[in-house]
Amino acid sequence: MGKSSKKIGIFFDIKEITLTICSVSGSSFKVEKEVTIPTNFQIKEKVIKPISLNSEFFNEKQEWVAKFKEAVKKNSIAGDAVVTLSHNFSITRFFTMPYVDKKFWSKSVPIESKKYIPVAFEEMTYDFYAYPISNNSKVAVLFGITQRKTVEFLLEIFKSLSINMNAIESTAVSFERLLLFADPKEHEKKVYTHFSGANSYSIFSYNGCPVIFRESSMDGSSTMSERKTLDLKGSMAFVKRYVPEQDYSGVILSGDNAALWQKIAESESGLKTEIFDFSKISDIKKSAFSLIAACGASLSENVKNAKSVDISGISAGKRLAKQIQIYIIGIVGAVSSIFLALGLLNTVRTMSVSSTVNSYASRMTEVADFNGMTNEMIREKVDTLKNQNQIVRALFSDKDFLAPKMSVIADSIPSSLWVKEFTYVNQIGASEISGQGKMLEIKGETSLKGEAKLNTIDIFVKKLKEAPEFKVFTGEKGNIDKTVDSSTEKKTFGFSGMDNPINEVSGFTITCTEKKR
């Protein structure tokens, strides 16, 4: 089933928070730890819009925060974690769009997603999984989004608890992963509905991606007979509209009183309906959906074909850092090649200069070369020899000056900043003789604003100052200054006749100077 590494699965919903740690053995898993924390969060609205309660719920003043910290410490829970947010705190949409080349997906997919997710993207973090379908005539997209402040809040809470958050995903993704683990055979040909208390959870997937995830409540019904529909037929028709090639061959029911719904499910769908018990593949004894979702998150690295959509931006940051690392390695390689070529050139030049110096030295023993010269002419010749000697020393000094500093920049730069341009000045010849120091200028951009931008740039500058490789630019030897642009620039991308702003960025400059010697 994949890797055996253990992750903490943490499910967040308005009513409760559940933490699990699962271990996999073959085609089954065991819940090693399970902790459920009631939130006692008061809801005023009857109809809850997705993400509308994030700012209020993910707040240090909420009662659940102290309970959560206490439960984690009491149960000695620590390590890598995957968070799964209920549909109240995140939005997940499956949609299709006209085919475009993969290299344009990073720009075109977010633009297209705004048709289906009407929120201000400037305050959100998102991720998506996309792949071509229908003979490359369309692109299928699974798009997830949540508030950026929610991610920042959870990172801060987890940091004090020795929990390293690897990713945040929606409950639909976690539920689909657990179902794929539990029932891998002809999985995408089946519709799944799980019953937990007064709620039912249905998922219709395609190629490992949840196309529809629906939660229905029966709280308002006094008996089950008052609600006799699961709306399976309408949901299958919706999937067919987006993915014409998708056909379902069966319905799988699980959870509380699943057998009572079997005939209704068969009647609605016209498909063969079976009952599934999670105890067959695990030691789960309860039907609580919070437990099901948390287990799905805990198994994030144990299911081969499950698709992941990390809406925290952490995975995207790691991918970007890797690309930057490859880019910098390429730059370092190119610079090293230049230094190698200069080294060969310097060797030839040094041999020539050394030959000239030796020639002068051999002649000076007899003072023949100075015959007939005035004092001024002799002084000029001596100065020429001194200058040539200093040029040789300048050419051979600090050959490995730049590469280590570029490595430090790559390791230290925060994920929300990026470097746009490097300028490196190391003058030789006459300037070297006059004692001119070196200068390294780093120009970059960021989409952050206000204090967040200033604080992040300050953190970057601080890391540079603390690095041993930048010691030459600190203290009495030099100086490291920053300049932050107050103006912003809108980066745009046009698609299908549109010219929509993607983000506003502003620049900054960090100047590292070595004082004159």
For 327-382, what is each residue's pLDDT tens digit? 677 777 777 778 788 888 888 887 877 777 566 656 555 555 655 677 787 777 77
What residue type is assigned to position 32 of the chain?
A: E
Rounded to whole angstroms, the Cα distance separating 127 from 136 reads: 22
CATH topology of 1-183+281-311 equal to that of 184-275? yes
The rounded mean pLDDT for the chain is 85
**DSSP assignment, residue 278?**
G
Rounded to whole angstroms, the Cα distance separating 70 from 161 reads: 10
Main-chain phi, psi angles of 305, to 5 degrees:
-95, 5
Predicted local confidence at residue 363, as pLDDT = 57
Note the helical H segments in 302-449. 314-364, 375-396, 402-412, 430-433
Ranges under pLDDT 50 in the chain: 1-4, 221-226, 429-430, 432-433, 493-498
Which residues have a Cβ under 8 Å from the Cβ of 93 and sit 6 or more positions away? Answer: 113, 116, 117, 142, 143
Rounded to whole angstroms, the Cα distance separating 40 from 44 reads: 13
Predicted local confidence at residue 224, as pLDDT = 44
Predicted local confidence at residue 49, as pLDDT = 85
Predicted local confidence at residue 339, as pLDDT = 79
Note the helical H segments in 365-401. 375-396
How far, in whole angstroms, is CA 439 from its chain's centroid? 33
Q: Where are the domains of the chain?
A: 1-183+281-311, 184-275, 313-397, 401-517
- Categorise residue 495: left if φ over 0, alpha if ψ from -120 to 50, beta otherwise: beta
Predicted local confidence at residue 503, as pLDDT = 72
Q: Is the CB of residue 390 less than 8 Å from the CB of residue 432?
A: yes
Q: Is the CB of residue 26 less than 8 Å from the CB of residue 17?
A: no
Rounded to whole angstroms, the Cα distance separating 402 from 473 reads: 13
Class of the domain covering 1-183+281-311: alpha beta
**DSSP assignment, residue 209?**
E
Main-chain phi, psi angles of 40, to 5 degrees:
55, 30
Predicted local confidence at residue 497, as pLDDT = 47
Note the helical H segments in 97-147. 105-113
What residue type is assigned to position 180 of the chain?
A: L
| Lookup: tokens for 301 | 């690295």
Rounded to whole angstroms, the Cα distance separating 497 from 451 reads: 36
Predicted local confidence at residue 362, as pLDDT = 62
Rounded to whole angstroms, the Cα distance separating 443 from 490 reads: 18
Which residues have a Cβ under 8 Å from the Cβ of 263 and sit 6 or more positions away? Answer: none
Q: What angle do CA 485, 490, 496 make, to 5 degrees?
A: 165
Q: Is the CB of residue 426 less than 8 Å from the CB of residue 438?
A: yes
| Location of structure tokens 């010749």 | 381
**In this predicted model, what pLDDT tens digit does every residue of 400-410 receive, in sequence order?**
677 888 888 88
* CATH number of the structural domain 401-517: 3.30.980
How many separate helices (H) and strands (E) can be counted in the chain? 13, 17
Rounded to whole angstroms, the Cα distance separating 394 from 440 reads: 18
The DSSP H or E segment spanning 139 is: strand 138-147
Across the beta sheet with 417-425, what order do the strands follow? 417-425, 439-446, 498-514, 478-495
Domain at 184-275, CATH homologous superfamily: ATPase, nucleotide binding domain (3.30.420.40)
Helix, strand, coil: what percent of the chain each, to 5?
40, 30, 30
Kindly state the greatest CA–CA separation across the chain: 123
The structure's pTM equals 0.62
